Structures are given as C-alpha cells and as structure tokens.
Amino acid sequence: MKIAVAQMSAVPGDVPGNLRKIDAVAARAAEAGAKLLLTPELILPGYGAAKAMAELAEPVDGPQGEALAEIADRHGLAVVAGFAEAADGAVFNSALFTDGTRAVVYRKSHLYGDYERGLFRPGPPEAATVEHGGLKFGLLICYDVEFPENTRRLARAGVDVVLVPTALPAGASADFIAQRMIPVRAFENQVFVLYADNCGADGRFTYGGQSHVAAPDGATLALAGPEAEELLICEIEPATYETSRAENTYLRDLRV
C-alpha cells in the first residue's frame, strides 16, 4: 500500500484554513496513488492555539470530523489528523482516522510539558487500532512514541504500521528523536513507524520537522528536512521484511 506522510504547518485558530490545506495535500496524495494520508499533531486547531484550544475543541462527530470524512471520501483515501476533542467534559489531544465512513479516535496518553497538561486531559494508555487496505494500523501521538511501552503494546496487538502525528519542537533532542529513536522503535518491534511532524513556526513554537518513515529492519524509507512542508510517499510492504522478522524475534521471545 502507498501511504503519504505530510509534513505541514498550521495556522493556530484557523480550522477552516487548515482543513483547506489538508484537502489540497490529500488531492496530491491521492494523485500519487496513496491510500492513507498521515498529518501532524493538532493540525486542525494548530498546536500553538493555546487558550483558544478549548473553544476549538469538538466531538468526533462534529463539523471538523465531518469535514475530514468528506475529504477522505472525495479523494478515495483514509486520513489521520490531529484535533482537539471535546468529550466527557474535558478536552483531549486526539488523532482521528477516517476513511469517509468509519471514525477511530486515539487520545494522547502521555502529555508533554506544562503547555499540554494545562490544556488537555490525558487519555488512557491503550492499543487503538484499525484495519485498512489489508494492513493493521495503530495510533500514537508525538511524546507517546518516546515511551517504548506504547509502541510495544501496539506491536503485541498485531499492527503492521504505527502512525504518529507529531508536534516535535526544534532542537538537539528533536534531531535525536526523529532521526534515531523512530528507527529503533520500528526495529525493536518489527513494524513500520510513520512520524509526521509540524514544521516552521507559529508564533509560539518552532517545530523540528524531519518527518520519518522507518521500516521494520530500522531502515529509513523517507525522511523530510527540518523546515519546509513536504509530502513523503512510501510503499508499505510487510512481506518484504519477513527475513528481518525471522532474525529479530523480540515479540516472540518477550517475557512479561
């Protein structure tokens, strides 16, 4: 399956404008033959929306979710996008998978720093999965993937691919996480890890970019630069890595 990873910038507070950008990127991804488009963390409200986040939050079946479903349906692919979810009297930092008919939501379980903790309630650590196009996908968000237990949970649930919408800030740690940690997560679990970061600056944060597609053997299939918007298109073929899985039997040998 071809999958598109969009490294994008968002305008904080401009949900309609950010939806238009997703629509345009979805058109490019579909034209390239992709059947799934992964976009960054909180791409709809903009990660830097700060106190406006609560006003921009919506339930999964609200207008934002409907707009994403319409984009997915019109372009014939699934879309994964970060949004501020209003549910249970709280706001969650969430990722929505939609193929136009189905909606699967994952709530970020590990919030990063005082900024996120002041805006969101953490979701429970869980294996949020969805099957699409013959592959099984798992969802995490940004800081979640930096805890190995979270990727391992999805691997033990049988996923082929881990999708990670991200808002990684620029800096030395960002380079290490994006370039080195992501391939390790893929290798130690023998899964694909797709990491889609915000890029540029929004007046509050500057992002690290370097969106990454890592294969089960730890190889880099695609890596974006640190600053500009980019659309990465990759062919995801689990059968290609059967030898790697046979040689690196971490899941089979794990003792818990």
| 3-state secondary structure labels for all residues of 51-72 | HHHHHHCECCCCHHHHHHHHHH
What is the number of domains present in the chain? 1
Take residue 148 and report the two structure tokens written for it: 């190995």
Quickly state the pLDDT bin for 46 (edges 50, 70, 90).
very high
Contact indicator for 163, 38 with CB cutoff of 8 Å = yes
Query: Is residue 245's pLDDT more than 90?
Result: yes
Active site residues: 41, 108, 142
What average pLDDT does the structure give for the chain?
97
Q: pLDDT for 209-236, tens place per residue?
A: 999 999 999 999 999 999 999 999 999 9
Domain that holds residue 181: 2-253
Quickly state the pLDDT bin for 172 (edges 50, 70, 90).
confident
From residue 59, give the alpha-carbon distance in Å to each of 92, 145, 249.
10, 25, 40
What is the Cα Rg of the chain in Å? 17
Take residue 104 and report the two structure tokens written for it: 């699967």
CATH number of the domain enclosing 185? 3.60.110.10
**What are the residues facing 223 on neighbouring strands?**
212
